[in-house]
Chain A
Amino acid sequence: MPELPATRGTPFLETRALHKFYGGVHALRGVSLTINSGGSYHLLGENGCGKSTLIKIISGAQPASSGQLLIRGQDMTGLDPIAALDAGIETVYQDLSLLPNLSVAENIGLSQQLVESSGRLFRRISPAQIDDVARRALSEVNLPTDPEFLARQIQTLPIAIRQLVAIARAIASKAGLVIMDEPTTSLTKREVRNLISVIRRLQESGTAVLFVTHKLDEAREIGGTGLVMRDGELVQQCDVTQASNAEIGLWMTGRELEQGRYRRSPGTPPAPLMQIQGLGLKDAYRDIDLTIGAGEILGVTGLADSGRNDLAKSLAGLAPPDRGKVVLEGRPLDPSEPASMISAGIAYVPEDRLTEGLFLEKSISANVTMSVLDRLRNSLGLLNRRKARALTQKTLDELRIVAAGTEAPVQSLSGGNQQRVLIGRWLATSPRVLILHGPTVGVDVGSKDTIFRIIQAQAENGTGIMLISDDLPELLQNCDRIAVMRDGAVSRIFTAEGLEEETLYNEIAGSGGENAREG
């Protein structure tokens, strides 16, 4: 078992000039930092900046190519995961690394067992001991400690609870350093606040915490040191409560990012483009009346069960409504299948780009051109691959996608680039209406900026845009109007300019403000 954490303020972990090469790629360039016991640190940076690599080296999953790693003053360079656990480093990865068919108690006791039996799980410590450890950890994160809960299989729990269990495991073993990668993605506001108080307690007992996160507001609430990385280098350390979003954005991307509104509201009111009239779908939504003007950006938001996801699906042709109609430029549309909505000019960029949007193993070119192959034929009626590549290259250039060529597989791209490929496919169809569902989820700050600019440019071309999102700042920055849905109906439509986030938030949450996702 690890020793008790050292006194607050003394160095727990130190890296000196860490370098890492993957083949010919220089992933970490001389990173030197110190993590003090009881301190909190936030690792900030775009996708591909080296954050994950650094974490992997600290937690022992990968060895550094050169440089040193010291823990409590001892040289532990090249440690393996078991040694890292032994030294008191616990990690909560984004995928949670819980074993779904084992119980809550077994999962929480897991790292301890691994360390005690040097990585072999056969010699187990007694179930009573495991339960004990589990109970203490669970009470820290305010989860139930009754035997029934302890015995629950992980795969039966909702994702938010799983995230808390994963965190409980990390803190069960009195670690010296707890690393958390995007720990709040599935948590409600109340749960996030709960987590923050757990983290405070950890810090008080001398445990250091290191976060990898995109959410600057949360980072500020927790406080501590911001470690900003770019292109494998640690470019800036700052007090995260003092630095502004603009400064952090600049350090992360090397570019000035827009902080205020992206949207320049047009002077004249837009001509009506698409009208949704009295649309209803049983057990999903009812009496939806919305208009989108040409060149207008309409935001749609609401809680997860507000019906907005089903509305999006209906407009895409994936869930035909049973009442009402959708009219585009005066013509009624047939929402019974995606193909007819697409050919009418409605493009839907789905929520989950990995399973619903992209063909990951296929090339960027295949993904981008798939909906417009008819336009890329030669005189024989066969596909002209040169034209296809040209269109793809144009898309890569216009959307500023970083890739190893048009034929590279889409899965080789970062999240932000993948999202732009998907958007690019739909833009190539020159849609009349573009519906974007959560377009910047899991996308780094730099890509977000680019995507916002793309959306604005489309609007300026006269395309009508519906932006469905949970990210309130995103909505406020980009939309003309924002429609809030609640319990299957539109509860209010705001004008975005000048709207306060608090007002918007209250409308969404209605009575149960604490239960809203932070987004």
Chain B
Amino acid sequence: MKRHTPFRIAAAAAGIAMLGSGVLAQEGDKEAVTVVKVTGENWFTRMEEGVKAYGQEHDGIATRQVGPARADAAQQAAIVQDLVAQGVDALAIVPMDPSSLEGILRRAMGRGITVITHEADNLENTQLDLEAFDNAEFGARFATRIAECMGEKGKWTSFVGSLGSLTHVQWADGGAKYMEQFPEMELVSPKNESFNDANRAYELAREILRTHPDIRGFQGGSAIDVIGIGRAVEEAGLEDKTCVYGLGLPRDTSEYLESGAVDGISFWDPKDAGYVMNVLVDMTLKGEEVESGMDLGVPGYEDVTVSDGPGEGKIVRGQAWVDVDASNWKDYPF
């Protein structure tokens, strides 16, 4: 395996390009590349911090993150394919469309490349899939707070990034399952697709408020859903009358948390997820096994559950959720 040399980095920098993130590596370092769904989104920018941090803190491994400019599965697949052709040592992937990567990942493992994934617990061709938590449980936790806020009766709805985003669908379904115990809670227009676009989430929320003027509960899926919903709620002046909970990032959602348009958000720190993915990469490269109960050195992943995945790999789950509302969002710098 050839490595980057300072010359090559200088040559690349001499071009007008924006370099993907990278750590200056030494000869003999293993090359681990993290491939995310899309670059430029706040979420994955935060994840990159964790990815880089791992490489800086540990010898023998060089970490970097890449991702397509657009949220298009074909573009992500092209990047993965080129990395396989380049012969990197390990891939840590957050797949846009898990099933379309099955083939290339199988070939990657066939070439001896270590494959770790995140947010893809239905993927067969992976050695380890990292989940920050159990998705159904995460969804249910939103529903718990929505139900509590609404007094366990009324109409509520759920949003997803897209019907193809597996984890978002699992959260929405987890929330819905929790709500089944309340006969007076009515789910309308489930799993509205925002396509990771805050404007679209806003338009959809407005439409729902129009169609169901008595609706009170909103569960967001993609991190921008609560932003769009919050904006619509604020516009309608319904901050105090609605219960909006969902995935979100503190900084982005702060305005709506303060005004009460969004009642609470939860997330898992993508920085930790990026870091832990590379922990798993390193362990696998060294041939170490991950077992239930292990402490991976990062809060939320100090007592992981390991179960069998659909293929030959395993699923590693933490309990890495973080709940944030108006009172504590300032504690988080992202």
Q: Do chains A and B touch in the complex (CB under 8 A)?
A: no
Hey, which bits of chain A sit against chain B, CB under 8 A?
Answer: none
Hey, which bits of chain B sit against chain A, CB under 8 A?
Answer: none
